[in-house]
Amino acid sequence: MTDKNRPFGFEIDVEAGRLARFDHHYQRRLSDLRGVFTDRSAFERAIASGDPVVYEVYELYRPQVAGELLHGLSVVHPGQIGTEFYMTIGHFHAVRETAEVYYCLKGRGLMLMENEEGTWASEEFLPGRVVYVPPRWAHRSINLSLDQDLVTLFVYPGHAGHDYGTIEQRGFRKLVLRNNGSLSIVDNPAWAGANVER
């Protein structure tokens, strides 16, 4: 038995996108991301032809209380659904006044963010680059590479919790698209924020 109150350290296998030590690992398959992608027929076709793993998370167990820092590794695999890239579902923190730090170890991507006041932002993920997500900003990791994983280390307060429902209902304001090899960030025509009762 390890004592969870003892200091510890661990290695990250960046190439493999794995932690040498973790307590919990989960995968999100495409079928877990219903409603995330705009192109519904491309989405259904990809599920029918094997329901690929879109992303994986490795977490170390820490108590979910203020004062602790929850941390782990996020691995978004490469791929496209229609003109969109593989990405995470995205979330607000249940406790809005909690921030998060991401450190990119491998790959190329974007953190897409928005707040409830109507502002959006994006920050580039490149190896060695840090992205700071301030309190109150929803965040989604997008893999812009079509041939390698996007691997990031994340650290956030123990009591933050996750609110996936708000994003599931409304989506993000912006879509990140790849058309004929070039990238664009456009308004999401299906964004439902204006219609959601607050």
**20: exposed, middle or buried (C-beta count within 10 Å: 0-12, 13-18, 19+)?**
exposed
Which pairs count as long-range contacts for 128-134, CB under 8 Å and 24+ apart, including other chains? Answer: 128/104, 129/103, 129/104, 130/101, 130/102, 130/103, 130/104, 131/101, 131/102, 131/103, 131/104, 132/99, 132/100, 132/101, 132/102, 133/99, 133/100, 133/101, 133/102, 134/99
Shortest distance, CB of residue 39 to Mn ion, whole angstroms?
26
The Cβ of residue 194 has, within 10 Å, a number of other Cβ atoms equal to 6
Site for Mn ion in 50-109 (CB under 5 A): 100
Whichever of 161 and 193 has its CB closer to Mn ion, that residue is 161
Shortest distance, CB of residue 110 to Mn ion, whole angstroms?
15
Site for Mn ion in 147-186 (CB under 5 A): none
Shortest distance, CB of residue 93 to Mn ion, whole angstroms?
6
Q: How many residues bind Mn ion (CB under 5 A)?
A: 1
Whichever of 34 and 164 has its CB closer to Mn ion, that residue is 164
Residue 114 is a binding residue for Mn ion (CB under 5 A): no
Whichever of 32 and 39 has its CB closer to Mn ion, that residue is 32
Shortest distance, CB of residue 99 to Mn ion, whole angstroms?
9
Query: Which stretches of the chain bind Mn ion, using CB under 5 A?
Result: 100
